[in-house]
Amino acid sequence: MSQPRPLLLKNGRLLCPDSNTDQTGDLLLEGGLISAAGGELQAPEGAEVIDCSGKWVAPGLIDLHVHLREPGHEYKEDIASGTAAAAAGGFTAVCSMPNTNPVNDSAAVTEMILERARKVGSCRVYPVGAITPGLKGEGLTQMAELKQAGCVAVSDDGHPVSDSRLLRRAMEYAAGFDLPVICHSEDTALSAGGAMHEGPMATALGLPGIPAEAEVSAVERDLTLAGLTGARVHIAHISCAGSVAALGRARAAGWAVSGETAPHYLALCDQDVGGYDTHRKMNPPLRSAADREAVRQALAEGLIQALATDHAPHSVLEKELEFGFAAFGVTGLETALGVMLELVAEGLLSPLAMIERMSASPARLLGLPGGELGVGSPADVVVIDPQAAWTVDPARMRSKSANTAFAGRELPGRALLTVCGGEVTFRLEG
Ligand SMILES: NC(=O)N[C@@H](CC(=O)O)C(=O)O
Ligand SMILES: [Zn+2]
Ligand SMILES: [Zn+2]
């Protein structure tokens, strides 16, 4: 591979949560690494110089929860389109969930994903392996083999591991290889048949409900097993106040647990399902306004450590249906940063805290490279214009699927430039 041209980012607001840096200066990227940071830097021979005055320069965003759909569901998304969407959203790394076809439950599938990502990817891809073969909830995968092949965590995302005894064994086994277990926490007996959050809105719309307790009771069980086993457990897509409280208790107990939420749980609630818009249908569902408030506070305080998109592309075949029949899931890679910038504009998060939740913290949770602007770290960087307002247009997405929950919403800002390993992976035209 040819070395990318050196890149000098001039005069940006450097945001690095790891070193608690928030100050104006230059950043030099050379040979795939950050070679100098801060102050006024000279451009080396042949470097591209970009004026970043008034812009934020931050470590590339890292998404712990993405469905790239390859192999098997390439009509919804593939590694090329999904990672291009990631780069356009400011991401330099994504973790790819194993609910593909075939399921990523073996080294062969993990290796295929990594090989494709190297060939056609626009960001780093870290595969997440399955906990149970075929996500069937029976038996355990060869986790040593998965880790050896490149998996950074295990999860049956899309499904919970309902058998508590099996999940206990999975956590004990995963802990032996220091693999975090990512839990899709759902009591499927309690959520069965539901299409949206159970509450007055579901009643008004005549849609079957999914009580928050279907999530909370499962989160409590999963965290309890984290305490029992000592495993590293990460709760996916936290949507409600009860789960936040459970995570707070588990963290206070000193267990090795963490959690993420997604942009839609911060910006929308069950009231937004009013038009039976299937692009507002995902699992877990949009909860009450009070739940949304609890999730926002928990992210602001850092109790929920990470923002992850749960980017879940689906085609019109699965979405242009009656609400009850439509697939669960919405895209998120290209809108996440804009939604987070809304929270910054409201004063809920500082710019540094926003970058922490979207980059430094995800890197730390799964032990991934990046997430910092230190000299010698990978040249994974995003340049953000916090004041380039734009309107979300589903027709102008890099993702193959248009099932965004934010169509028509005006977002305050976006990524201007994304650099991964020193290569420019996205540049906003115009
Ligand atoms: N979140 C969703 O609504 N859907 C996800 C599965 C999942 O994340 O559980 C999908 O794969 O479509
Ligand atoms: Zn899930
Ligand atoms: Zn998911």
Q: Are residues 45 and 134 in the same domain?
A: no
Nearest alpha carbon, ligand 1 atom 8: 158
Ligand 3 centre to CA of 358 (Å) is 17
CB distance 423 to ligand 1 below 6 Å: no
Query: For position 128, which CATH number holds?
Result: 3.20.20.140
In-domain check, residue 2: no
In-domain check, residue 202: yes
Q: Which ligand is nearest to the CA of 183?
A: 2
CB distance 211 to ligand 1 below 6 Å: no
pLDDT in tens, 92-106: 999 999 999 999 999
From CA 205, how far away is CA 222, in angstroms rounded? Answer: 32
In-domain check, residue 307: yes
Other C-beta atoms lying within 10 Å of the C-beta of residue 81: 22
pLDDT band at 273 (very low <50, low <70, confident <90, very high): very high
Q: Are residues 280 and 347 in the same domain?
A: yes
pLDDT in tens, 204-254: 999 999 999 999 999 999 999 999 999 999 999 999 999 999 999 999 999
Q: Are residues 345 and 394 in the same domain?
A: no
Binding site for Zn(2+), by residue number, is 65, 67, 157, 184, 237, 310
Among candidate residues 310, 380, 385, 393, the one labeled active-site is: 310
Query: For position 383, which CATH number holds?
Result: 2.30.40.10
Ligand 3 centre to CA of 269 (Å) is 19
From CA 125, how far away is CA 364, in angstroms rounded? Answer: 16
Q: Which ligand is nearest to the CA of 128?
A: 3
With the most atoms of ligand 1 within 8 angstroms of its CB, the residue from 282, 319, 331 to mutate is 282
Binding site, by residue number, is 65, 67-69, 99, 157, 184, 237, 283, 310, 314, 328-329
pLDDT at 374: 97
Q: Are residues 290 and 148 in the same domain?
A: yes
Q: Are residues 403 and 340 in the same domain?
A: no
Q: Are residues 48 and 189 in the same domain?
A: no
Other C-beta atoms lying within 10 Å of the C-beta of residue 15: 25
Binding site for substrate, by residue number, is 67-69, 99, 283, 314, 328-329
Last residue of a domain, one of 330, 345, 366: 366
Q: How large is the average pLDDT for residues 186-203?
A: 98
CB distance 282 to ligand 1 below 6 Å: yes
CB distance 67 to ligand 1 below 6 Å: yes
In-domain check, residue 1: no
In-domain check, residue 317: yes
pLDDT in tens, 128-150: 999 999 999 999 999 999 999 99
Last residue of a domain, one of 313, 344, 366: 366
pLDDT band at 3 (very low <50, low <70, confident <90, very high): confident
Ligand 1 centre to CA of 158 (Å) is 5
pTM: 0.98
In-domain check, residue 181: yes
pLDDT band at 261 (very low <50, low <70, confident <90, very high): very high
Task: Measure the CA angle with vertex 188, ends 185 and 191; round to 5°.
Answer: 100
Look at residue 1 and tell me whether its pLDDT is greater than 60.
no
Look at residue 2 and tell me whether its pLDDT is greater than 70.
no
pLDDT at 288: 98
Q: Are residues 222 and 277 in the same domain?
A: yes
In-domain check, residue 197: yes
Percent of the chain surpassing pLDDT 70:
100
Q: Are residues 178 and 284 in the same domain?
A: yes
Q: Are residues 84 and 127 in the same domain?
A: yes
- For the chain, the domain total comes to 2
Look at residue 121 and tell me whether its pLDDT is greater than 80.
yes
CB 69 within 8 A of CB 98: no
pLDDT band at 79 (very low <50, low <70, confident <90, very high): very high
pLDDT at 388: 97
310 is catalytic: yes
Last residue of a domain, one of 314, 334, 366: 366
Q: Are residues 119 and 204 in the same domain?
A: yes
pLDDT at 28: 98
Nearest alpha carbon, ligand 1 atom 9: 158
Ligand 3 centre to CA of 155 (Å) is 10
Q: How large is the average pLDDT for residues 157-176?
A: 98
From CA 338, how far away is CA 360, in angstroms rounded? Answer: 18
Q: How large is the average pLDDT for residues 157-177?
A: 98
Q: Which ligand is nearest to the CA of 238?
A: 2
In-domain check, residue 372: no
pLDDT at 342: 98
pLDDT in tens, 64-78: 999 999 999 999 999
Domain that holds residue 179: 60-366
Q: Are residues 413 and 305 in the same domain?
A: no
User: Which stretch of DSSP H or E encloses residue 48?
Assistant: strand 48-51
Q: Are residues 65 and 132 in the same domain?
A: yes
**Average confidence score pLDDT of the chain:** 98
Task: Measure the CA angle with vertex 240, ends 237 and 242; round to 5°.
Answer: 115
pLDDT band at 127 (very low <50, low <70, confident <90, very high): very high
pLDDT at 430: 75
CB distance 77 to ligand 1 below 6 Å: no
From CA 246, how far away is CA 251, in angstroms rounded? Answer: 9
